[in-house]
Amino acid sequence: VYLIFEYSFVKHMMLSVLTLSALYAVKSQSLDCLSACIGPQLQTFLVKKDSSSYLGLSTGNRARVPRYPLAIFLAQVKSDIKVALTCGRTCGVPAVVRAGGHSYEDLSSMSNSLIIDISNVNAVSVFQNGTTYLANIDGGARLGRVYLSLWDAGGWSISAGLCPSVGVGGHISGGGKGMQSRKYGLAADQVVSMNVLLANGDEVVANSNSHSDLFWALRGGGAGSFGIV
């Protein structure tokens, strides 16, 4: 019985080592693929595990569960987001988008994934449409920046949350409850249109007239589930 147990134990150890080696090889190949696909011009914004900034960027700032993604891509402009998403799909690496990183379950950072950090895509502007004033807000903008920018643009505001470092993309597509919600509703209730990057790389405009089902889902049931806003 002892010899059978010993053989089984050694065999199990050998299989474990082989499995770990195979996984390491797959991860290494996937990372090489990502690096090649991202290209030399954007390589600076691809953070890998050997980078000194990796641990600080690998898990959201309010997360309770540590995550170890394959890499983190720091998008600088909107076009970078599509490049990263396409490369993740091409290389077989699941992509996870992160705006502010405030998900308590750390759903904006998953192990062995490619995190697409959009916090630098954060422009906020106000424009007039007839007699109505509308705000154009990038998904990576954080609430503090949104409030200040809207106020500076003419004393405007929106009904949303209190924490200034929460990313507006996840906040609004998750509903967006705040102190003014009793009177003005959720942040999601004030959205009239969304530019959405789908998992297949298609870019669509979702509103009450176009892709209305997606528009409905993203205002409360989104938070990274249906596309990148």
pLDDT at 62: 61
pLDDT digits (tens, 9 = 90+) for 92-106: 999 999 988 877 677
Helix H or strand E segment including 32? helix 2-38
* pTM of the predicted protein model: 0.84
What pLDDT band is residue 27 in, cutting at 50, 70 and 90? low
pLDDT at 48: 94
pLDDT at 67: 85
pLDDT at 106: 72
pLDDT at 172: 86
pLDDT at 107: 75
If you average pLDDT over every residue of the chain, what do you get? 85
Neighbours of 200 (CB within 10 A): 9
DSSP 65-123: S----SEEEE--SHHHHHHHHHHHHHTT--EEEESS---TT-TT--TTSEEEE-TT---
Q: How far is CA 98 from CA 5, 103, 226, in A?
A: 47, 9, 14
pLDDT at 60: 66
Backbone angles phi, psi at 182, to 5 degrees: -60, -35
Q: What percent of the chain has pLDDT over 70?
A: 84
pLDDT digits (tens, 9 = 90+) for 113-155: 999 999 999 999 999 988 899 999 999 999 999 999 999 999 9
